[in-house]
Structure 1
Amino acid sequence: MSRPIRIMMWIVGLAFTLYLVLLAILWSQQERLIYPAPQTVGPTTGGFEEISYPTDDGLAISAGYREAEADKPTIVYFHGNGADWVSSVVATDRLVPAGYGVLAAEYRGYRGNPGTLSEEGLYLDGRAAIAFLARRGISADDIVIIGNSIGSGVATHLAAETGPRALVLISPFASMRQLVAEKIRWFPTSMFLRHRYENIEKIGAVEAPVLLLHGDADRVIPHAHTRQLAQVRRDAKLVIYPGKGHDLAWHDEAEEAVLSFLHTIPSESVTE
């Protein structure tokens, strides 16, 4: 075998080894990449009570809660992966003065909560949040579920299960599986991804009215994902904001759109 061929084979072997190493890192570190929980815990926000509720797998999840005014629904807000429940307070600061209650839901592994992060774990946390409200006499048709970014996965899953008054998704993905495949094109991500959040397969089972909001300058989750969801739910209200990025949930325009949408939904609109 000639020297040039040996060198070429060595280069190919090295490249393949590096590929396998990178694949192993992605496999083992995917939870840290998907759930970059904040490392610092800031103070709670005035007007919200810090509460705790149990999950079916034995955890106690701390979150934030503010009661609704009479005859107003309660919003269950599932935040994005780089925030915590206090960010949900900021994202609802125009909804609270209108009388809406807010359960700023939290996840295991976030803000000092116990537990190991996983897709099924976040669904358990979401069910626990809904159950907390049920114990306070708040039924599903008095609940509006809002999910931002990765919270859209929890929100869509819970909305399909529980039949809330309405579902609002802000900067959602069609599926985590699809999003990761688009971001990491040179690896077989569908083979090793443990967290898939298939919103596009579940949103059709949501019987409540749906509002979809996205910014066309979002570089984290392209707004094409929201358009895909709208193709499945053709009755959904879709709003794309020019020039807005992945921080859309904290812009006044998003909250105003939610308020306008909720004003159009009577309490009896949910299918029994």
Structure 2
Amino acid sequence: MLSRLLIVTLAALVAIYGLCMIVLYLRQDRLVFPAGTQKLGAPDAAIPGAYAITLVTKDGVTLDAWYKPPASGAPVLVYLHGNAGSLATRGRRLAMLAEGKTGLLGVEYRGYAGNPGKPSQTGLVRDAAAAMTFLHERGIAPRRIVLYGESLGTYVAVKTALDWPVAGVVLDSPYTSVADVAAKRYPYAPVRALIRNRFDTDRIVGGLRVPLLVIRTTQDRTVPPEESLALFEAAPEPKEVWTTARGTHSSVLENGGLGPVLRFVTRVTASPATSP
């Protein structure tokens, strides 16, 4: 009798576990892409000189985005944001990056802020490619373009740098892979087998051929700080890392990171080595 009860109990637990894994698998896109749904407004109130533009991706998705043109000869930052919210929730930091003569192109992803489409690893890379096409069509030389990836956007920035000529790459709170982050967050689940959009930055960062800056905080509670450091160590030279014990995963720039970023941008866009 006891053995039968034990078998029934174990079977019930296995069934419940299996059901939980099915739910996790089906809901994973909501966890990876918790997109802001409010449509983007005009950016000029947050970012002086900026205005709304439309980007069209290679697969025909039309995206709202924000653009502040650079002054003549000045650099342009292509901003690839993290997985939560939208450009609208990052107005202050975008304004910080776009002060003075520096230009800024804030990419809003498919499925975010009222944009059509469904976000995915491939889709976000296509969205960034549409931004690069936009700049090239306006005569912005690659030696003036710096990619800025924040959190989830760090994979997109690295992949874009492998596909397009740029002056440099900034990675803000990067990870080795979304699968690694998820495995630590859900240790009871076989997430490496379940996850569809892996964003394996560690597998591609070795291909970088432009200067890299990583900014990170030891107080990161979203991406383990050692992951950011491991990704930096996997990248080739030239590279540099700036580390602080202040801020959070989403506020490294606001807690001392702005200065190192701006100095990096000035240096790499002035280097003859990045001329087209």
Common fold: TM-score over 0.5: yes
CA RMSD of the aligned region, Å? 1.7
**Residue number in structure 2 paired with 1:94:** 96
Using the size of structure 1 for normalisation, the TM-score is 0.94
**Residue number in structure 2 paired with 1:164:** 166
1:243 aligns with 2:241: no
Letter in 1 for 2:160: L
For the residue of structure 2 that corresponds to 1:75, the secondary structure is strand
- State which of 206, 209, 231 in structure 1 corresponds to 2:208: 206
Letter in 1 for 2:251: L
Map 1:116-131 to 2 at 5 A: 116-131=118-133
Q: 2: CA distance between counterparts of 1:88 and 1:129?
A: 18
Map 1:23-102 to 2 at 5 A: 23-41=21-39, 43-46=41-44, 47-102=49-104
Check conservation: 1:170, 1:248, Cα contact below 8 A.
no
**Residue number in structure 2 paired with 1:143:** 145
Check conservation: 1:165, 1:208, Cα contact below 8 A.
yes
For the residue of structure 2 that corresponds to 1:21, the secondary structure is helix
- Worse overlay, 135-144 or 42-51: 42-51
Q: How many residues align?
A: 270
Q: 2: CA distance between counterparts of 1:40 and 1:197?
A: 25
Give CA deviations for 1:134-183 in whole Å, capped at 9, x if unaligned. Answer: 11111322210000010111111101111310100001111112111222
Q: 1: CA distance between counterparts of 2:114 and 2:176?
A: 29
- Worse overlay, 79-88 or 185-194: 79-88
For the residue of structure 2 that corresponds to 1:264, the secondary structure is helix
**Residue number in structure 2 paired with 1:268:** 272
Check conservation: 2:147, 2:166, Cα contact below 8 A.
yes
**Residue number in structure 2 paired with 1:15:** 13
Shift of 1:42: 5.9
Q: 2: CA distance between counterparts of 1:154 and 1:80?
A: 10
Check conservation: 1:142, 1:267, Cα contact below 8 A.
no
Q: 1: CA distance between counterparts of 2:9 and 2:114?
A: 46
Give CA deviations for 1:19-45 in whole Å, capped at 9, x if unaligned. Answer: 111111111111111000123346432
Identical-residue share of aligned pairs (%): 27
Q: Which runs of 5+ in 1 are unaligned?
A: none
Using the size of structure 2 for normalisation, the TM-score is 0.92
Q: Which runs of 5+ in 2 are unaligned?
A: none
